[in-house]
């Protein structure tokens, strides 16, 4: 029995396979009537579910091919391990999510992101990827180039080589096939110091949202919507000091957990202690359970210019004791069709909940409150509808072309994509 990371649901697959080679993945996909790839299982929606074969990639041979400004890795690589190896070689990823426990391919496929005005999604770092499609073909997609096909049989049509739908393939939700390797852009390594400013009035975030979130390389605000927030300020060493005293908050004198009352030893170092980028940009340490563990999560994205109004609208809601914490972040725009920040710089409102069926009613309340600003839901988290994704019809057509028999279909994907056709 396979569950997701938080134990909030059980996958419906009749078998789980962990191929030890790319050819093994190709055989497993070709032989399956239904299939889907499973990363770290850090999804709260059933985006990765299947009634057939779940394919895990953690047994694939390790790939770490470092170039002058890119790195090629196997899809099952965890972000924490990749970050350590990059830092040891003098490189870094420009973006990391709040936890480094997830796989590279899983984070990319669902539009997972970092935090910061100039920081985008991990998908925006992808320069190429290798995709095993429904018939077992291996197709390499490169940004700005036609796809390169390695057919499983001579009968495969050469027309497949003409695809140039790179921005549709990167954030693909596992709906197009199984990604087995990715090439990511990298930058020189850098150090970061992290401080927490406590007791910041929510009114200050509403009134001067841009000033707060421009204060450092990466800024996150956590709140339980009680009228105050704690602001995580992650400043690159060498950048100007980040001063948020004007907000009415004050520097925390002890490490804090994003969920009030939780012990902070699971969290990355705070109190201004400098350290490598990968040990500061995530909120949670790789060697501990992130967040709470048994929880539910949802996240919604609105255009950055409407962030303050959206924040004010959410502040009027009362979530009671269902809510453990909320996080507010900013993310740069990208161009992937199904990225939550496609075509628009965004503010994201994240919610960590207790595991309770009553959460689903809260999702509808949040979506209604954000409706004036065309929200988009995170694909890997809970929502009642995906929201305003203009790229959905185009992606649905690409899915129909690459997987006409529906090998990678599931009920969740059908609910999201079928209305778009």
**What's the distance, CA 110 to chain centroid?**
5
- CATH 3.30.465.10 domain extents, the chain: 64-188
Which residues is 228 bridged to in the sheet?
201
> Measured between alpha carbons, how far is residue 93 from residues 83, 137, 354 in Å?
7, 30, 32
Give CATH 3.30.70.2520 domain extents, the chain: 191-377
Neighbour-count burial of 151, counting CB atoms closer than 10 A to its CB (0-12 exposed, 13-18 middle, 19+ buried): middle
Cα–Cα dist 48/4, whole Å: 10
CA distance readout (Å), 181 to 10, 105, 155: 27, 8, 25
pLDDT digits 0-9 by tens, 161-212? 445 699 999 999 999 999 999 999 999 999 999 999 999 999 999 999 999 9
Contacts of 31 (CB under 8 A, 6+ apart): none
Residue 290, C-beta contacts closer than 8 angstroms, at least 6 positions apart = 98, 99, 101, 266, 283, 284
CB atoms within 10 A of CB 293: 11
Q: Between 240 and 157, name the one with better pLDDT.
A: 240
Taking each helix axis from N to C terminus, what angle separates 359-370 and 307-315, rounded to the nearest 10 degrees?
140
* The domain defined by 191-377 carries CATH number 2.30.30.30: no
Q: What is the per-residue pLDDT for 24?
A: 98
pLDDT tens column, 291-328: 667 889 999 999 999 999 999 999 999 999 999 999 99
272 within 8 A of 91, measured Cβ to Cβ: no
* Model confidence, pTM: 0.94
Residue 91 above 70 pLDDT?
yes
Which strands form 35-38's sheet, in the order they lie side by side?
15-17, 53-56, 35-38
Say yes or no to pLDDT of 144 above 90. no
Distance CA 101, CA 81 (A): 9
Per residue in 211-228, pLDDT tens? 999 999 999 999 999 999
The CATH code of the domain at 64-188 is 3.30.465.10
How far is 73 from 184, CA to CA, in rounded Å?
8
Q: Which residues contact 131 (CB under 8 A, 6 or more apart)?
A: 138, 139, 140, 141, 169, 176, 177, 178, 179, 180
Residue 153 is predicted with a pLDDT of: 54
* Percent of the chain residues topping a pLDDT of 90: 83
Q: Percentage of residues in the chain with pLDDT exceeding 70?
A: 94
Report helix, strand or coil for 282.
coil
∠ CA(363), CA(331), CA(142), 5° rounding?
110
Greatest Cα pair distance, the chain, in angstroms, is 68
- The answer to whether 111 and 156 have CB atoms below 8 angstroms apart is no
What is the distance between the alpha carbons of residues 160 and 148, in angstroms, rounded to a whole number?
Answer: 9
* Pair type for strands 275-276 and 191-201: antiparallel
pLDDT (0 to 100) of residue 417: 87
Is 234 strand, coil or helix?
strand
Q: How far apart are CA 120 and CA 332, in angstroms?
A: 5
Instruction: Tell me the CA distances in angstroms from 171 to 71, 133, 182, 213, 340, one per residue in order.
Output: 19, 15, 12, 26, 10
- pLDDT tens digits, 257-288: 999 988 998 899 999 999 999 999 999 987 76
Predicted local confidence at residue 288, as pLDDT: 66
């Amino acid at each position: 029995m396979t569950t997701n990371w938080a134990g909030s649901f059980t996958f419906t697959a009749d078998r789980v396979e962990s191929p030890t080679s790319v050819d093994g993945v190709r055989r497993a996909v070709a032989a399956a009537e239904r299939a889907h790839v499973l990363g770290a299982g850090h999804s709260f929606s059933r985006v990765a579910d299947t009634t057939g074969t779940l394919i895990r990639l953690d047994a694939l041979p390790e790939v770490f091919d470092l170039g002058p400004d890119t790195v090629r890795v196997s899809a099952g690589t965890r972000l924490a391990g990749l970050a350590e190896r990059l830092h040891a070689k003098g490189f870094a990823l420009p973006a990391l999510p709040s936890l480094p426990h997830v796989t590279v391919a899983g984070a990319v496929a669902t539009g997972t992101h970092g935090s910061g005005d100039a920081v985008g999604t991990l998908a925006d770092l992808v320069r190429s990827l290798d995709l095993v499609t429904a018939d077992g073909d291996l197709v390499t997609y490169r940004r700005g180039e036609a796809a390169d096909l390695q057919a499983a049989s001579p009968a495969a049509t050469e027309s497949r080589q003409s695809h140039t739908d790179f921005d549709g393939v990167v954030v693909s939700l596992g709906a197009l096939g199984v990604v087995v390797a990715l090439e990511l852009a990298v930058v020189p390594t850098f150090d970061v110091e992290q401080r927490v400013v406590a007791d910041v009035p929510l009114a200050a975030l509403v009134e001067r949202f841009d000033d707060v979130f421009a204060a450092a390389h990466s800024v996150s605000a956590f709140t339980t919507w009680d009228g105050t927030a704690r602001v995580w300020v992650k400043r690159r060493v060498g950048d100007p000091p980040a001063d948020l005293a004007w907000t009415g908050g004050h520097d925390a004198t002890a490490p804090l957990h994003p969920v009030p009352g939780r012990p902070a030893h699971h969290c990355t170092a705070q109190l201004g202690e400098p350290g490598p980028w990968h040990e500061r940009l995530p909120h949670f340490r790789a060697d501990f359970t992130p967040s709470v563990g048994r929880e539910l999560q949802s996240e919604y994205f609105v255009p950055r210019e409407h962030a303050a109004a959206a924040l004010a609208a959410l502040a009027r809601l009362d979530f009671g004791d269902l809510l453990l914490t909320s996080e507010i972040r900013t993310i740069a725009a990208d161009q992937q069709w199904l990225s939550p920040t496609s075509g628009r710089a965004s503010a994201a409102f994240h919610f960590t909940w207790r595991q309770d069926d009553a959460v689903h009613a809260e999702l509808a309340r949040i979506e209604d409150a954000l409706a004036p600003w065309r929200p988009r839901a995170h694909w890997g988290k809970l929502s009642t509808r995906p929201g305003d994704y203009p790229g959905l019809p185009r992606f649905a057509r690409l899915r129909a072309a690459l997987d006409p028999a529906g090998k990678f279909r599931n009920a969740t994907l059908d609910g999201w994509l079928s209305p778009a056709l």
